[in-house]
Each structure stands twice: as C-alpha cells, then as structure tokens.
Amino acid sequence: MVMTQANKDTLCPVCGEANHCQIVNGCLYKGACWCDQANVPAHVLRFLVEAQLEPACLCRRCLATLAHDARSLDEPPKVLARVREEIARHSNLKDFYLDELGHVVFAADYHLRRGYCCGNSCRNCPFVGSNPTL
C-alpha cells in the first residue's frame, strides 16, 4: 500500500498514531475539534510549520502535551523534543526511539505491523526500494 496524502492527513506527525481529526474524517457536524481549544503560543505554531509538521493535525495527546510544555519552555525545538520524550516514555510498545537529535525513529517491526511504506524514506523501513517519490 502506497501512502497517499489522505493517509498522511490521518496520522499525527509527532507520534505516528491516528490523529482522529474531525475535518479529515468528515465529522465537522460533531462540533469544534480539540485543536481549536488548545492554547499553543504562536511562535511554537510557526516552528511546527517551518519543521513541516503542520498543516498535518496532531493527535489529542501530542497537542495537549505540546500546549502544556509550551507554557514552561520558550524554545520551540525544546518543546517538541520534550513532547517526543514524553510520548516515548509513556509508550508501551517499542515502536520507536529517539535518535541523538531527538527525532522519532520508527522500528522495522512497527513498519511491518502497519503493513505499508509511507514514502518518507524511514531509517528502518523494511520495504526497501518501495519508497515512492511524493
């Protein structure tokens, strides 16, 4: 299965889990999304755009952690690193680890369980040669 933009829109770019975005899932009739209620400082949002994590939607857990950590840290890269550390620390599965730069690196087993290549040239991608040009 090749990762399409529609597939990418449904995954959180921080943790890789389903983001349950009401807009992408066509559930606008259910009311405002949790992202409308999150209080994330503008400079952190700008950083997410520059890091190409936006306009993809973050899951509720990552967004809540981001909003919480942004209150105590001024530097957006540190906020994002802290969010990734928290997610890794509370993850029951060893689906990913943080590399020396604080980036999330998914394990090959995670990719195999997911069942398809996302096309992002992941470090441990077991689908060698199948990464499409996006």
* pLDDT given for residue 43 in this prediction: 84
Instruction: Please name the residue that has the structure tokens 């906020």.
Output: 79
- Separation between Cα atoms, residue 25 and residue 23, nearest integer Å: 5
pLDDT (tens digit per residue) in 12-62: 877 777 788 777 777 766 677 777 777 888 888 888 878 766 556 888 888
Domain locations in the chain? 5-114
- Separation between Cα atoms, residue 35 and residue 25, nearest integer Å: 14
Token digits of residue 119? 């096309």
| Contact predicate 79/70, CB 8 Å | yes
**Percentage of the residues of the chain whose pLDDT score is greater than 90:** 0
- Separation between Cα atoms, residue 4 and residue 69, nearest integer Å: 31
110 pLDDT band (50/70/90 cuts)? Answer: confident
Is the model's pLDDT at 122 over the cut of 80? yes
